[in-house]
Chain A
């Protein structure tokens, strides 16, 4: 292992080693010093974040091309680390309240994040598959960590069974691509394609299978059916992280693999993406209207948002649009991460010990009983809808702009119209909180409220100066794409 190799995976290595140390320390001291594990977990993520910030501006290929450090991986690493920190904050309050006091929560979270980071910098299909497993398996366990509740166990099993099937699809797809190109290295495949040494048919089969596998991870219709049940059954602080981390990791794989390897067959794939994106936006938003449970509503809303991100990516075959495709997807992921973590943190705050309190009607009167929490929720709902002066607006603006730039005006119009549908159910939350009398209970967990407030301030504040985040996203280039 050379120094370049070491540097390139420093954020991941730090996290893995740190998590292993935590596992030991938790066994020895966890009972006596309950604060130890969460604080250490945050410290580990901060270290990893520092390492990833240190990489900014670097470009490297390590481990014989297995690992790639570029703008894309660095942007995503930061995103994963930051949402991990938020998830730990949410988990600390939540676990104490619902009576899950397991140090494994934090350790598993760290393992999962290390998998996501590895996914962001994958330079080889083998690494893609390994990191997919590394990020998923801890999540399967986390979904069931509240094992005294049936729903949590069910969510875990469902996620595991469907998740392994998706992994099988990915693996099968990798086999096809290997058969077509004779290599699993992403850059090797690119080279083989450009030299015309691949079997077109096998490549198309492989890409379709990969799309199905990644589509599962990002919860795109028709691979979305696990989402509502898993989001609903898992402990809320886990779902908060899952809705951001797993989705971003899925997109990391999708974007990197497709924009590197499959641009040559983009003509065949673009209609597929088009339909996938339109279906995801329509089904996600329309079904969300019918939900009465806030967790399920947010689950369908997260499906819908995957559709919006796919919309940016429909034009990935067009070299002139590709940079904007990637940058707008990254920007949207960041905006979505802040908003989604915020919305789930409000949910964490209102959920009761017995798992009730997450119906939309349970929010009635929250505007009076917990004004700052309710105000934060308004910000998140507006941001999800895409109303100006929230980060969500700029996210959608950039996505729609990219779709229209790529010539997919009809798809953009479909996206805009489904946004209108989404306004209906997001506003319903606001209606409940402010316009209807009720005695919504909110827990006085100070950390959760603090997180919700900070995220709300970021969602609004960054909307005034989005240029900074735009530039960061625009620097999130994939080397060679």
Chain B
């Protein structure tokens, strides 16, 4: 490393510069706060691209590591240990991309306490970056819990009618899981002499302890993903959050759960992972079908998108616990895909809401004729989420299903076969939604004069859809980025399989 300052530090903490500026200048006007936040997040995005350029994708393992001692407590050191590998770099890029888009989406939607909103958003960005980059368990936990605070206020202060209920439910659900994870972290740290993740992976934890720890960590992550049956916070939080909050919630915060499985459960508790993989995959498949069926029954577009998240994240978990190279790579790619497609869908719902102040499908209809640009971009987004070949969703889901089908650990093609139903159901509920909102005659006279997309709104959707096409047509660079890390992870589990036999 030649540069004096570690790029990871910059990516993680640069948003705080924006918070500081907003606190100093925020009183001068709403637009000042907006521009500061937007520019800060754009610079952070640029920094994340700089990080990508320095990243050597041919190597597995941790890169650009920074490890400073932070504090010692009763003989255990808690380190300020950051590092990036092929899995986390994609999450960092996704976070850095979605944050400025989400901030730009609030230009008209958030009019009250703008500087507070922007400060919380940038704090949230720092928290999310920290979660993806931490290599010390305590540091990870601190960032993980810290993200609750800004998100709690974002939902509670700027959400819609039932925001208080949703905000409290969100915090309590997440805390229920993460407190048990804290117990797990402490137990591992005390028993195996430290909280540093890189030093723990080669210590063999006894099988029974692995099962318990898999449960303690897994519960926290399963709630965050969310996996069926721990999902019930999600529809409320997504529906009540402001648009930008939903975008980040779906785009990044849910990925923290899926990422947690990859970063902690698989490498730290490989034996338990092997034993429990079919169960986890089973829950994932139930989640895929459950999310899809419930989504179909929704009248509120935003709730529909929220339930579709449960279904789509089911694919991610299925791919993860297929424990094949294809499955895991597909899962990671699908995490990115879901961030792009669902992020775009939530943006579109927000745009509809800003025009009509309703989210019920029955209040729309025939918008294609009134707002053709919005209609066509929505169609692309819907198709990307459905998994049409040529768009991103297809690549991710197809890879996951292939991985699950051939998985020797799941040892049954039925997981993949049943999950495929989810793909079909996704087409049903999403196209149904599209038809209700955009096709047919204009049923309500208020809808006759709706404005089509403004240039700002096109700018919001354009990068997401361009990436959707890119991943759909040429996913190789993305797979290349993650494959050394994934191979390393699976090799670790493979050794456990061999010693077991």
Q: When the two chains form their complex, are residues A387 and B146 in contact, meaning their CB atoms are under 8 A apart?
A: yes
Contact of B157 among A323, A405, A434 (CB under 8 A): A434
CA distance A34 to B187 in the complex (A): 56
A residues sitting closer than 8 Å to B (CB atoms) are: 323-324, 327-328, 382, 387-389, 393, 397-398, 400-402, 404-405, 409, 412-413, 416-417, 419-420, 423-424, 427, 430-431, 434-436, 465-467, 470, 474
Q: How far is the CB of A339 from chain B (nearest CB, A)?
A: 16
CB atoms of B183 and A324 under 8 A apart: no
B182 on the A face (CB < 8 A): yes
Which residue of chain B lies nearest to A389 when distances are taken between CB atoms in the complex? B146
Q: List 28 A-B contacts (CB under 8 A).
A: A387-B145, A387-B148, A388-B141, A388-B142, A388-B146, A389-B142, A389-B146, A393-B142, A397-B186, A401-B74, A401-B76, A401-B189, A401-B190, A402-B74, A404-B183, A405-B74, A409-B183, A416-B180, A417-B179, A420-B172, A423-B171, A427-B152, A430-B156, A431-B167, A431-B168, A436-B164, A467-B71, A467-B72
Q: Is B466 an interface residue (CB 8 A)?
A: no
Report B202 CB to chain A, min CB distance, Å: 22
Choose one: A327, A423, A465, A466; the contact of B175 (CB below 8 Å).
A423
Instruction: Let me know if A435 and B156 touch, CB within 8 A.
Output: yes
Candidate in B148, B180, B187 with the most chain A CB atoms within 10 angstroms: B187
Q: Write the B143-184 contact mask toward A (1 if CB under 8 angstroms, else 0).
A: 101101100110011000001100110011001100110110
In the complex, are the beta carbons of B146 and A424 less than 8 A apart?
A: no
Q: Check A434/B153 contact, CB under 8 A, given A387-B146, A404-B190, A419-B179.
A: yes
Determine the residue in chain B with the shortest Cβ distance to A402. Answer: B74
The answer to whether B74 touches A398 (Cβ under 8 A) is yes
Docked CA distance A423–B152 (Å) = 12
Assembled-state Cα–Cα distance A417/B219 (Å): 14
Question: Cβ of A398 and Cβ of B73 under 8 Å apart?
Answer: yes
CB < 8 Å neighbour of B186 from A323, A401, A430, A467: A401
Taking CB atoms, residues of chain B closer than 8 Å to A416 are: 179-180, 182-183
**CB within 8 Å for A405 and B190 given contacts A398-B73, A398-B74, A435-B157:** yes
Chain A residues with CB under 8 A of B164: 431, 435-436
Q: Would you call A427 and B168 a contact (CB within 8 A)?
A: yes
- Report how far A388 CA is from B138 CA in the complex, Å: 10
Query: When A and B form their complex, what is the total count of cross-chain residue pairs whose Cβ atoms lie within 8 Å?
Result: 90
Q: Which 5 A-B pairs have the closest CB atoms?
A: A467-B71, A388-B142, A416-B179, A324-B74, A388-B145
Nearest CB of B to A436, in Å:
8
* Closest CB in chain A relative to B227 CB, distance in Å: 19
Of all chain B residues, which has the CB nearest A403?
Answer: B186
Distance (whole angstroms) from the CB of B348 to the closest CB of chain A: 28
Q: Identify which of B72, B152, B183 contacts A413 (C-beta below 8 A).
A: B183
Q: Given A431-B168, A434-B157, A435-B156, are A412 and B186 also a contact pair (CB < 8 Å)? A: yes
Q: Which of chain A's residues have a CB closer than 8 A to the CB of B168?
A: 424, 427, 431
The smallest beta-carbon distance between B190 and chain A, in angstroms, is 5
User: Does the CB pair A404–B146 fall under 8 Å?
Assistant: no
A430–B156 alpha-carbon span in the complex (Å): 10
Contacts of A405 in B (CB 8 A): 74, 190
Q: A residues within 8 A CB of B163?
A: 435
CA distance A278 to B126 in the complex (A): 36
Task: Enumerate chain A residues within 8 angstroms of B149, measured Cβ to Cβ.
Answer: 382, 387
Given A382-B149, A435-B163: A424 touches B186 (CB 8 Å cut-off): no
- Closest CB in chain B relative to A270 CB, distance in Å: 19
Given known contacts A405-B190, A427-B171, A470 and B72 CB-to-CB distance under 8 angstroms: yes
Contact B70 A467 (CB under 8 A): yes
> In the complex the two chains form, is B187's CB within 8 Å of A409's CB?
yes
6 more A-B residue pairs beyond the given contacts A389-B142, A434-B156, A435-B156, with a C-beta to C-beta distance below 8 A: A387-B146, A400-B186, A404-B183, A435-B163, A436-B164, A467-B71
Greatest chain B CB density within 10 A among A416, A431, A470 is at: A416
Q: For residue A404, which residue of chain B has the nearest CB?
A: B186
* Chain A residues within an 8 Å CB radius of B172: 420, 423-424, 427
Closest to B148 in A: A387
Q: Which B residues have a C-beta under 8 Å from some C-beta of A? A: 70-74, 76, 138, 141-143, 145-146, 148-149, 152-153, 156-157, 163-164, 167-168, 171-172, 175-176, 179-180, 182-183, 186-187, 189-190
User: Taking chain A's interface residues, is the majority helix, strand, or loop, or is none over half, making it mixed?
Assistant: helix
When distances are taken between beta carbons in the complex, the residues of chain A under 8 Å from B167 are: 431, 435
CA distance A466 to B74 in the complex (A): 13
- Assuming the contacts A400-B182, A435-B157, asked whether A470 and B148 have C-beta atoms less than 8 A apart, the reply is no
Per the bound structure, the CA–CA distance linking A387 and B146 in Å amounts to 7
In the complex formed, the residue of A with least CB distance to B216 is: A413
| B9 CB, nearest partner CB in chain A, Å | 15
Q: Given the complex, which residues of B lie within 8 Å of A393, measured CB to CB?
A: 142, 145
Contacts of A382 in B (CB 8 A): 149
Q: Which residue of chain A has its CB nearest to the CB of B177?
A: A420
Residue in chain A with minimal CB distance to B139:
A388
Which residues of chain B are near A470, meaning CB under 8 Å?
71-73
Q: Report how far A434 CA is from B112 CA in the complex, Å.
A: 13
User: How far, in angstroms, from A327 to B74 measured CA to CA in the complex?
Assistant: 9
A409 to B148, CA, bound (A): 26
Chain A hits for B146, CB < 8 A:
387-389
Q: Which one, A388, A412, A417, A466, contacts B71 given CB within 8 A?
A: A466
**A410 to chain B: closest CB distance in Å?**
10
Question: Which residues of chain A have C-beta atoms less than 8 A from B182's C-beta?
Answer: 397, 400, 416
**What's the Cα separation between A322 and B92 when bound, in Å?**
43
Bound together, the chains give a CA A404 to CA B186 distance in angstroms of 7
Q: Name which of B73, B172, B183 has the most chain A CB atoms within 10 A of its CB.
A: B73
B183 x A400 contact (CB < 8 A): yes
- A401 surroundings in chain B (CB, below 8 A): 73-74, 76, 186, 189-190
Nearest-Cβ distance from residue B131 to partner chain A, whole angstroms: 12
Minimum Cβ distance to chain B for residue A198 (Å): 31
CB-CB under 8 A from B171, the residues of chain A are: 423, 427
Chain A residue contacts of B187, Cβ below 8 A? 404, 409
Provide the residues of chain A in CB contact with B148, threshold 8 Å.
Answer: 387
Interface core residue of B70, B74, B157, B167 (most chain A CB under 10 Å): B74
Task: Kindly report which residue of chain B lies nearest to residue A423, judged by CB atoms.
Answer: B175
What are the residues of chain B within 8 A of A420 when measuring CB–CB? 172, 175-176, 179
Alpha-carbon separation in the docked complex, A467 to B76 (Å): 12
Which residue on B lies nearest to A406, using beta carbons?
B190
Which residue of chain A has the shortest Cβ distance to B189 in the bound complex? A401
Q: How far is the CA of A299 from the CA of B74 in the complex (A)?
A: 31
Least CB distance, A429 to chain B, in whole angstroms: 12
Q: Closest approach, in angstroms, between the C-beta of A181 and any C-beta of chain B?
A: 32
Q: Which residues of chain B have C-beta atoms less than 8 A from A398's C-beta?
A: 73-74
Q: How far is the CB of B262 from chain A (nearest CB, A)?
A: 22
A238 to B190, CA, bound (A): 41
A227 and B142 CA atoms in complex are apart in Å by 33
Chain B residues whose CB sits within 8 angstroms of the CB of A419 once the complex forms: 175, 179
Which A residues are in CB contact (< 8 Å) with B186?
A: 397, 400-401, 404, 412
CB distance from A388 to the nearest CB of B (A): 4
In the complex, which residues of chain B have a beta carbon less than 8 angstroms from the beta carbon of A400? Answer: 182-183, 186
Report Cα–Cα, A431/B142, bound state, in Å: 23
Chain B residues with CB below 8 A from A424, complex form = 168, 172
A431 and B145 within 8 A (CB)? no
* Alpha-carbon separation in the docked complex, A404 to B157 (Å): 38
Smallest CB separation, A316 vs chain B (Å): 15
Q: Enumerate chain A residues within 8 angstroms of B74, measured Cβ to Cβ.
A: 323-324, 327-328, 398, 401-402, 405, 474
Chain A residues whose CB sits within 8 angstroms of the CB of B76 once the complex forms: 401
Distance in angstroms from B336 CB to nearest chain A CB is 27
**Chain B minimum-CB-distance residue to A474:** B74
Residue from the set B142, B179, B189, B190 with the largest chain A CB neighbour count within 10 Å: B179
Bound complex: CA A431 to CA B72 (Å): 36
Contacts of A327 in B (CB 8 A): 74
Give Cα A435 to B160, complex, Å: 11
Q: Given the complex of chains A and B, what is the CA–CA distance between A397 and B183 in angstroms?
A: 9
With the chains together, A405 CA to B142 CA distance in Å? 21
Q: A173 → chain B, closest Cβ, in Å? A: 31
Cα A2 to Cα B145 with chains together (Å): 54
